[in-house]
Structure 1
Amino acid sequence: MLSRLAGSVFHVGSAVERADVVARMLDVYVVRPDAGVVDDEDVVGPTLHRVVGARSPGRRRLRAAVVESLALDRHEPASVAHAVGVARDHARRAREVVSTELWDCLDVTRSRMPRKVAVDRAHEFLAWVRERSALAVGVVEGDVSRDEVWEFFTLGRSLLRCGLTARLLASPLVDTGSAASWTTALRACGAGEAFRRGRDHHGVAPRDAAGF
């Protein structure tokens, strides 16, 4: 595979994963925070910006402003909307190796990305983003070929997830001694159900959650 095509496929995977992870973190920590989550808007907004690699807000950010910035701001490189655009643009550059199904998925997602979302509809919007990301991943995973397209797409996804997970775990959003905080962190990483599966208790031991 030509390096330019490999690079574009890598960026598609990374951008799809960013859209999913940022949407999940926004939903868990900002839109519908659980008990045990840091409840100080002066802390949550700037901290989440640092975790996802966004520009520093430079001032107090209310929850609605954080959603606006990290979900819908097309000029913010770390936002969901920007990630969707990047995924679509790089898929277009790699059309000769990207499947028609993946291209259609990303093109439709980009065309339906709203510019404004009411605060009380933010959860539904973020769920839609996660569904579209899952569809893109499913299209790639459903292909019978485990070729270089699959490899570079998966590499882009994996490295992005590793980086954002590491930043989250090192941030003040996780109280390392709190079971409730670890429960929320697992949900933010999309690992809550996987952690509980096969366990015969409902509690979350911080050591077990950290190890997982």
Structure 2
Amino acid sequence: MLSRVADSLYWINRYVERAENISRFVEVSEAMALDCPPGSAEPWLPLVDASGDRDLFDRLAVGQNPKDVIRFLVSDHENPNSIVSCIAMARENARQIRDVITTEMWEQINGLYWSLQDGEAIWQEPEQEQLRDIRRGCQLFYGITDATLSRDLSWLFSRLGRLIERADKTSRILDVKYFLLLPSPEEVGGVLDELQWIALLRSAGAYQMFRQSMQEAIAPSAVASFLLLDPIFPRSVRCCLQGISDTLQQIQRQPVPGPPDDLECLRGQLLARWSYVRIDALIGSGLHEAIDHLQSDLNRLHQLIHERYFTLADLRSIPADPACALS
């Protein structure tokens, strides 16, 4: 039971974070398409690449125009990573552990789920309003969770899922801009290039904080540094990794005798690697390769967490302190 509950809490927050990120990506891209000069390429397909679902999109989609991409990312029931599918999976996980989460949490995720069913009023709104309502619904769930859930293992596993998903999506959207949307040499520094970097910052909810923190012109290296290495911006990779490390240490309250295991090693190595590196070194050695390595490490981290905490064989790994019990 303990393992099942921990798994559900972790995935509820991963799914909600994923839905919120996708709604932000699509919302910003729609706004950017309005600002782009006539005849410029609209960066819709890279959003599918950022979600890691290009193969599925090519199999399911009837075309590759903006409407197809938006439908695939937002409301396609055949896409397990669409917003509607993510909210449905989060709600199903929450339904299974209603006795663990708070009533307010259940009411919010349940209400959000039903508001996204076919024929509901949200689908009659303009697309920008639809996405804004979804994003705010996800953010409201975060706020309710932090305001009503005790800071025990339930909250720690919820936070862990949210942070891993956030680090992954921040790195993916940056990788898309650097690797897939690199402009031709004559467009570097031009209007379209700057619009894309601004859109990238907005897609991560980082535009205002970037302006306040960096106080310099929008340049690729500055944007990459902020989204990857800033220690206090909550959506930066480094800040997420710090939170992941702290959360795992709190979950494993008592040190395990002997040398550190694979999970402990990877936790420490990831945090150190992204805390003590300069952006010029990352760019010089290949930013795409560094981000690709990061995503592989995050996948490996998820697998190690699953093996330790979410399988019955390793239930003993979760602290048995009654004050920290999940159920």
What band does the TM-score fall into relative to the shorter chain?
0.7 to 0.9
Length-normalised TM-score, structure 1: 0.87
Deviation per CA, 1:151-203: give whole Å up to 9, x if none.
Answer: 111111111111122222222246686443222111111111221235555x3
1:16-165 matches, cutoff 5 A: 16-29=16-29, 31-33=30-32, 35=35, 39-41=40-42, 44-56=43-55, 57-58=57-58, 60-115=63-118, 117=123, 121-143=126-148, 145-165=150-170
The percentage of aligned residue pairs carrying the same residue is 29
Aligned residue pairs total 207
Cα distance in 2 between the residues matched to 1:186 and 1:14:
21
Equivalent residue number for residue 206 of structure 2: 191
Equivalent residue number for residue 220 of structure 2: 206
Length-normalised TM-score, structure 2: 0.58
Q: Which entry has the higher C-alpha Rg, 1 or 2?
A: 2
Q: Which has the higher contact order (CA 8 A, sep 6+)?
A: 1
Equivalent residue number for residue 311 of structure 2: none
Deviation per CA, 1:57-98: give whole Å up to 9, x if none.
Answer: 327411111111110112211100001101100001121211
Cα distance in 2 between the residues matched to 1:184 and 1:174:
14
Between stretches 142-151 and 86-95, larger displacement belongs to: 142-151
Q: Decide whether aligned partners of structure 1 residues 54 and 128 sit closer, same or farther in structure 2, where only a CA change above 3 A counts.
A: same
- Alignment-mate amino acid for residue 157 of structure 1: R
- CA-based RMSD of the aligned residues comes to 2.5
Point out the structure with the larger helix share. Answer: 2
Unpaired stretches in structure 2, ≥5 consecutive residues: 227-327
Cα distance in 1 between the residues matched to 2:49 and 2:82:
12
The question of 1:182 aligning with 2:197 is answered yes
Q: Secondary structure at the match of 1:97?
A: coil
Moved over 6 A (4+): none
